[in-house]
Amino acid sequence: MKRRLVPLVISLFLVQDLTAQSKDEKYYAFDKDWKGTAIEKAVYFLRTKKLGDKQFLWTTYQIYGPRISQEVFQDEAGQIRNGYCRYYHPNGQQDSVGTCTDNLPTGDWWYYNMNGQAIRKKNYEKGLVVKDSVIVPVNSNKQDSTQKTKEDPAEVESTFKGGIQSWARFLNKNFKYPERALGVKKEGTVVVQFIVNEEGAILDPEIITSVEYSLDEEALRIMSISPKWNPAFQFGKHVKSYKRQPVIFRLN
């Protein structure tokens, strides 16, 4: 997809939460053909963010809808993908995720259906598929081979300290409904995936179910200020674990 980058002069009405541009973070507006356009005619927009000397994060959105993609490039012009990439279905559910090296998919890539279920895993070497595995959803009525037995060591999942009630109090204290989403009456459930490390700290939050830019950003902000969680416990010690946390946005 060829995108002509035209710097976006931000309209206050349009993007009350697409905040002021800096030299490290910029926004661009596109029409339906991905040509640069005025914000009032935009169908899509792109945010670019400089992560380092040779790392640029590109995140594309439907103008008032969910994410389309998030890619890491080694060049500011967005020609060579070099890093973690994630793509989304039109309904905001993640579609595929993996790593690119010199513009080619590398290593394991996971593919998901529009309900968010993993359905395929491919392993790439220099852009070529070397292994392709179809994933069959687990039938909850049948015993899973990973189900605990009496011989298994005690396992405890990572949890927010104090449980659901404490999580609700944390949200009530810190939650802010974005002005941009309020202006267009946008609501929904954003799902954030993240790591809880051995000390209970939140690392690498990622959007796996997107709703709209400002709602996604608020969900990420909430996770970034979260206090430490109770880490997972396995084989007699605390271990790193992956979690998915829904953040619900509802208009009154």
pLDDT over 60 (residue 142) = no
Q: Which two tokens stand for residue 99?
A: 């790593």
Confidence of residue 18 (pLDDT cuts 50, 70, 90): low
pLDDT over 60 (residue 122) = yes
pLDDT digits (tens, 9 = 90+) for 214-227: 999 999 999 999 99
Average pLDDT rounded to a whole number, residues 185-211: 96
- Confidence (pLDDT) at 252: 81
pLDDT digits (tens, 9 = 90+) for 171-193: 999 999 999 999 999 999 999 99
Q: Which two tokens stand for residue 235?
A: 């084989």
Cα–Cα distance measured from residue 86 to residue 67, given in angstroms and rounded to the nearest whole number: 10
Average pLDDT rounded to a whole number, residues 123-151: 70
The 232-234 sheet, strands edge to edge: 155-156, 232-234, 237-239
Q: What is the CATH number of domain 155-249?
A: 3.30.1150
Domains of the chain: which residue ranges? Answer: 25-134, 155-249
- pTM, 2 dp: 0.84
- Confidence (pLDDT) at 15: 43
Average pLDDT rounded to a whole number, residues 13-30: 64
Burial pattern 26-50, b for ≥16 Cβ within 10 A else e, equals bbbbbeeeeebbebeebebbbbbee
Cα–Cα distance measured from residue 168 to residue 149, given in angstroms and rounded to the nearest whole number: 33
Average pLDDT rounded to a whole number, residues 42-70: 93
Q: What is the CATH number of domain 25-134?
A: 2.20.110
Average pLDDT rounded to a whole number, residues 70-93: 94
- Confidence (pLDDT) at 76: 86
Mapped onto helix, strand or coil, the DSSP state of residue 215 is helix
Do the two domains 25-134 and 155-249 of this chain adopt the same fold? no
- Confidence (pLDDT) at 151: 45
Cα–Cα distance measured from residue 122 to residue 52, given in angstroms and rounded to the nearest whole number: 29
pLDDT over 70 (residue 144) = no
